Amino acid sequence: MATAASDDSEVAVLKFADGREHRIKIVKPTFGDDVFLDIRDLHAKTGCFTFDPGFTSTGSCMSAITFIDGPKGICLYRGYPVQELVERAQALEAAYLLLVGELPNPKQLEQFRGEIQKEMLIHEKIKAMFNTFTINAHPMAIMVAVVGALSCVFSELDPANELHRNLACIRLIAKVPVLACMAYKSSIGQPIMYPRTDLSFAENFLYMMFATPMEDYKVNPVAAKAVNAFMILHMDHEQNASTSTVRIAGSSQANPYACIAAGVACLWGPAHGGANEAVIEMLEQIGTKENVAQFVEDVKNKKEGVRLMGFGHRVYKNYDPRARVMKKMVAEVLAELGVVDPLLGVANELEKIALEDDYFIKRKLYPNVDYYSGIMLRALGIPTSMFTVMFAMSRTVGWVSQWNEMVSEGQMKIGRPRQLYVGTPQREYSCVITEPEVDNLSQAEASNCCLFGQTSGASGQEHAARSATSMKVKKASSFKMVVPDVSTR
Ligand SMILES: CC(C)(COP(=O)(O)OP(=O)(O)OC[C@H]1O[C@@H](n2cnc3c(N)ncnc32)[C@H](O)[C@@H]1OP(=O)(O)O)[C@@H](O)C(=O)NCCC(=O)NCCS
């Protein structure tokens, strides 16, 4: 990896009120206008920490995988604009690019495809897990469990060994889409369909989702092109919440399959990958174009915390380039499939009104990748609950590439931020209850104890009465440590 440049003449000086000075090195990336203050020695030299909840001003690592220019609306994978890759590359080519660093030649691509295909089978023990989930379990809940369970099957792994690392990355890229489709098939009670070696990555996804053993299934090329585009657009996005989660989990040298499961969990939330599902729910609630203006008013008034889902981004302060591609794809796919979706009209009207409104202009809120993707997936017949799962299977490529980069580049300092403590100062320990359980105490007995920290105004008895009646008292027994009986293990 080319390292970021720092020039000794370029420093920032931090001046304290007591006259102390601390010189901070300025570091610049290999591309782009961002400027970083290297504060790695700040605490050692000054005793100070920085305070940055949500990491709005913090770079957590060096990476050569994805570049984003938020103000200009640029997204590059290993230097290539993402929209060009969508137009010209197959999903597996983009995956190879992100993982290895260069586009593959035809021979390398064939070899990569073969390696992926070899790893698409799922261990029968993992497959058996699908029978244990409740029928209406959200497929993302299932994904968190089954991706994590891969670490049971592939527990032997030496992260220092390049071959081991590559194999883990290949396995995850190969298996997560299969697990995703298994989650769907089992949720609708249909038999699981295994992938076919004669189909492309995107075609296989559609085959595993929609084929049944009853009849031949022909993959629609329009749908395959749309899935290919979706996969590429979602593969990586530098240090977003789920990727940072994977890196932090990996920094403890945890098993990579477990790290990716942590990424899946983080992605699920509506502020992140769950937004594509939330956009459709929002558009359905709005219902018709006539209701758009009122909805925008509600958003501006922050009525019940309502947000315009699929709008806004921590980094993009301009139109998300992925959203631009997605908007074009939606129109093409709907036209080619002959699908008329009234939600597209609602979405277009909502975008138009929002982009002309001062609230959104001032805050630089534009559509992000999730705004239009759901409408395209609906047109392909993909159920809403699978939208975020599709995001997860695509982002798996980025997660493993980032994990592999972190481990191979030796950027393994454990992620361990500090906090600005705002709790109680040190105090004396006064009373502990162990037996009998609090619920069984008489008021007189309880009055001798201080469960919640006695307030100066309340007597012991008043406090006990409150504890025993209106408040839910935590049973002392619930704090007991359970020591397993070794003889029964
Ligand atoms: C993506 C997102 C989490 C980024 O959040 P962030 O960078 O932390 O920005 P903030 O939440 O601090 O928002 C800054 C301001 O814009 C407003 N804002 C941000 N996104 C908004 C949205 N989608 N709708 C309405 N207002 C929004 C906030 O209310 C805040 O306004 P204020 O200054 O009056 O308090 C946020 O834009 C969001 O929730 N978007 C909707 C969910 C979504 O589409 N997620 C997918 C991202 S790819």
- Residue 344 sits in a domain of what CATH number? 1.10.230.10
Centre of ligand 1 from the C-alpha of residue 372, in Å: 17
Q: Residue 220 pLDDT more than 60?
A: yes
| Structure confidence by residue, pLDDT tens digits, 407-463 | 999 889 999 999 999 999 999 998 766 655 555 555 545 444 444 443 333 333 443
Residues 334 and 445 in one domain: no
Closest C-alpha residue for ligand 1 atom 26 = 307
Residues 79 and 169 in one domain: yes
Confidence of residue 486 (pLDDT cuts 50, 70, 90): very low
Residues 145 and 254 in one domain: yes
Residues 81 and 176 in one domain: yes
Q: Is 374 close to ligand 1, i.e. is its CB under 6 Å away? A: no
The residues annotated with a catalytic role in the active site are 313, 370
Q: Which residues pair with 212 in a beta bridge?
A: 215
Residues 176 and 304 in one domain: no
Centre of ligand 1 from the C-alpha of residue 282, in Å: 15
Residues 88 and 103 in one domain: yes
| Structure confidence by residue, pLDDT tens digits, 149-170 | 999 999 878 888 999 999 999 9
Find the range with the poorest average confidence among 74-78, 103-107, 312-316, 479-483: 479-483
pLDDT for the residue 134: 85
268, 275 contact by CB (below 8 A) = no
Determine phi and psi for 9, rounding to 5 degrees.
-75, -20
Q: Is 275 close to ligand 1, i.e. is its CB under 6 Å away? A: yes
Closest C-alpha residue for ligand 1 atom 16 = 363
Residue 419 lies in a domain: no
Closest C-alpha residue for ligand 1 atom 14 = 363
pLDDT for the residue 135: 80
Percent of the chain with pLDDT over 70: 87
- SS3 helix, strand, coil % of the chain, rounded to 5? 55, 5, 40
pLDDT for the residue 440: 59
Residues 89 and 166 in one domain: yes
Residue 109 lies in a domain: yes
Residue 422 lies in a domain: no
Percent of the chain with pLDDT over 90: 81
Residue 386 lies in a domain: no
Residue 60 lies in a domain: no
Q: CATH number for the domain including 252?
A: 1.10.580.10
Residue 66 lies in a domain: no
CA distance 409 to 403: 10
Q: Can you tell me which atom of ligand 1 is nearest the CA of 311?
A: 23
Residue 250 lies in a domain: yes
Q: Is 354 close to ligand 1, i.e. is its CB under 6 Å away? A: no
Q: How far is CA 96 from CA 105, 264, 367, in A?
A: 10, 21, 28
Residues 253 and 214 in one domain: yes
| Structure confidence by residue, pLDDT tens digits, 381-409 | 999 999 999 999 999 999 999 999 999 99
Domain hosting residue 15, numbered range: 5-50
Q: CATH number for the domain including 11?
A: 2.20.28.60
Residues 246 and 353 in one domain: no
Q: Residue 198 pLDDT more than 70?
A: yes
pLDDT for the residue 461: 41
Q: Residue 203 pLDDT more than 80?
A: yes
Residues 178 and 250 in one domain: yes
Residues 298 and 266 in one domain: no
Q: Would you state the torsion angle of the CA atoms of residues 325, 327, 331, 337, taken in this order, to the nearest 10 degrees?
A: 70
Centre of ligand 1 from the C-alpha of residue 309, in Å: 9
